[in-house]
Amino acid sequence: MGVLNPDGSRSIKIESENFNIQLPDNNLPLMGTRNLRSINVAFPFLALRSQNISDEIFVPDLMDNGIPTKAQRDMAHLILSLLGVDDSRILSEKDFAQLKKDLSHLTDKDSGKTGRECLVELGLYNVASQNVNKTKLKKALRFIRENRGEVLNYSKLKEQLVLKKKSQLHQCL
Cα dihedral: 109, 111, 115, 121 (round 10): -140
Total domains in the fold of the chain:
1
Q: What are the tens digits of pLDDT across the range 132-160?
A: 999 999 999 999 999 998 888 899 999 99
> Cα separation of 51 and 42, whole Å?
14
* Domain range enclosing 7: 2-172
141 touches 76 (CB < 8 A):
no
Burial bucket for residue 58 (CB in 10 Å: 0-12, 13-18, 19+)? buried
Q: What are the tens digits of pLDDT across the range 16-47?
A: 778 888 887 755 454 556 678 888 898 999 99
Q: Which of 95, 32, 97, 25 is nearest to 67 (CA)?
A: 25
State pTM to two decimals. Answer: 0.83
